[in-house]
Structure 1
Amino acid sequence: MNTNRILVVDDEEDLCEILKFNLENEGYEVDTANSAEEALKLNISDYSLLLLDVMMGEISGFRMASILKKEKKTASIPIIFITAKDTENDTITGFNLGADDYISKPFSLREVISRVKAVIRRTTNNTEKSSTEQIYFETLVIDITKKKVTIDGEEISLTKKEFEILLLLLQNRGRVFSREDILSKIWSDEVCVLDRTIDVNITRLRKKIGSYGKHVVTRLGYGYCFEC
């Protein structure tokens, strides 16, 4: 039996009830709210995860997330946005607000349950492993102390720069870093480093981390980010 509490916030009452029923069948404790205003009256810090609709009344899901991320007690609560908006800019906005995942309507209930489990598992692991300075994304693990990366328990051989790029992107998943940003953070002590150097390192990094390479996304004209 799960002890994790989930809050579903959506102005579609039927959808809230469907999600509540199915998530409770998975053993989660689930509450619902039909507006951000209603949700913000609750003790949000009691929840392990928020399923948050983007398009709601006066306070949108994006605005609600922004409010929660500014408060110390709620800043670390994982958020999955559920929305009919499916443009690239909306997705980037969601991740830049600190979203842990983004599900577009229409969706299957199996997909929602799978993503809920993945986010809770990942965020729980991050909390448990924080003392050993490890960062998780599914089976990809960065050990900051030992300066190594493993996938499914197997160590991946990365150069110092590749390691630092992956660490930067994974620590700030969803945030887009320009080449200039990466140069200043990773090559800060060096001179005459070409933009092409970053592209080459990104290409090598993608190949080395296998199927996870698809999460290192190029935003043409902007830079790179790690998308969940």
Structure 2
Amino acid sequence: MIYLVEDDKSIRELVAYTLNSAGLEAEGFERPSEFWAACEKNLPDLVLLDIMLPEEDGIQILQKLRQKEATKRMPVIMLTAKGSEYDKVFGLENGADDYVAKPFGMMELLARVKALLRRTEDLRPKAEEKVYRLEELEVHVDQYRVLSQGEEVALTRKEFEMLCYLLENRGRVLTRDQLLNKIWGYAFDGENRTVDVHIRTLRQKLGQCGKYIETIRGIGYKIGGNG
């Protein structure tokens, strides 16, 4: 979502239309108070901010954004009729990421917005891959890879899900009923051997690492200790 704070209705509507037409969801606000109210409900991915505004000017808004923890890194492009080098430098020194002087072409503005969004996305910390490790056993959840003593092991979907569930609950005893409910979606009836059969084949495929899966007699299974 892109928020535009611009008191000139024709510019506000044209910019919002251009961004929405390009597949970038945008919403325009005439007054800073409307902008702040919207931010309370939902923070935007980028702000287009005019300098000459009623209530408070764009520089004041920018300074407030940079002072708040939730918005201090929010991408901001200043839109203003002031085209002097001093005003441009002043805006950038106060934390603006880019500056476009009026009158500007819609295609140029769109290109600037897309470029800034790309740069911001590149700078965001990437989510760490989820990996389970237990001595010589390694499970890369996102890659659907299992390594036993450094050798890749091919598991069925259910075997993989069961291993991940055991590792997620490392050190805890999981009953057959819990395993059936989680992996297969139905309850244990006392006779069903589905879990036991899958545990047996899982142990076989894991080789030496299969010993990490412990049988808790009369209850179920667990993997690893309390660490």
Percent of aligned pairs with the same amino acid? 33
1:71-220 → structure 2 map (5 Å cutoff): 71-128=68-125
In structure 2, do the counterparts of structure 1 residues 130 and 119 end up closer, same or farther at CA, with 3 Å as the change threshold? Answer: farther
1:159-215: CA deviation from partner (whole Å, max 9, x where unpaired):
xxxxxxxxxxxxxxxxxxxxxxxxxxxxxxxxxxxxxxxxxxxxxxxxxxxxxxxxx
Kindly provide the CA deviation profile for residues 75-108 of structure 1, in whole angstroms up to 9, marking residues without a partner as x: 1110000000111221111111111100000010
| TM-score between the two structures when normalised by the length of structure 2 | 0.53
Compare CA radii of gyration and give the structure with the larger one: 2
Alignment of 1:39-58 (within 5 A): 39-43=35-39, 46-58=43-55
**Which residue of 2 is the match for residue 32 of structure 1?**
28
Q: Give the letter for the 1:34 counterpart.
A: E
Please, what TM-score do these two structures have when normalized by structure 1? 0.53
Q: How far, CA to CA, are the matches of 2:64 and 2:125 in structure 1? A: 26
Distance in 1 (alpha carbons) for counterparts of 2:86 and 2:127 = 31
Give the AA of the match of 2:63: S
CA shift, 1:130, in A, is 10
1:211 counterpart residue number: none
The one-letter code of the counterpart of 2:33 is E
- Rounded to whole Å, the distance in 2 between the matches of 1:65 and 1:37 is 14
Match of 2:19 among 1, 23, 28: 23
Q: Distance in 1 between matches of 2:111 and 2:49?
A: 16
Q: Indicate the SS of the match to 2:71.
A: coil
The size of the alignment, in residue pairs, is 127
Asked if 1:9 corresponds to 2:5, the answer is yes
Change in CA separation of 1:130 and 1:65 when aligned onto 2, cut-off 3 Å: farther
Distance in 1 (CA, whole Å) between partners of 2:29 and 2:127 is: 32
User: Aligned to 1:89, what secondary structure does the other structure show?
Assistant: helix
> Which of 57, 72, 75 matches 1:60?
57
CA distance in structure 2 between the aligned counterparts of 1:36 and 1:61, rounded to whole angstroms: 8
Structure 2: gaps of 5 or more residues: 129-227
Distance 1:40 1:24 in 2: 21
Q: Distance in 1 between matches of 2:78 and 2:127?
A: 25
Give the Cα separation in 2 of the matches to 1:31 and 1:120.
Answer: 16
Mapped to 2, the partners of 1:130 and 1:117 lie a distance apart of 22
Q: CA RMSD in A?
A: 1.7
Structure 1 stretches of 4+ with a deviation exceeding 3 A read: 128-131
Amino acid at match of 1:123: T
The DSSP-based 3-state class of the residue aligned with 1:41 is helix
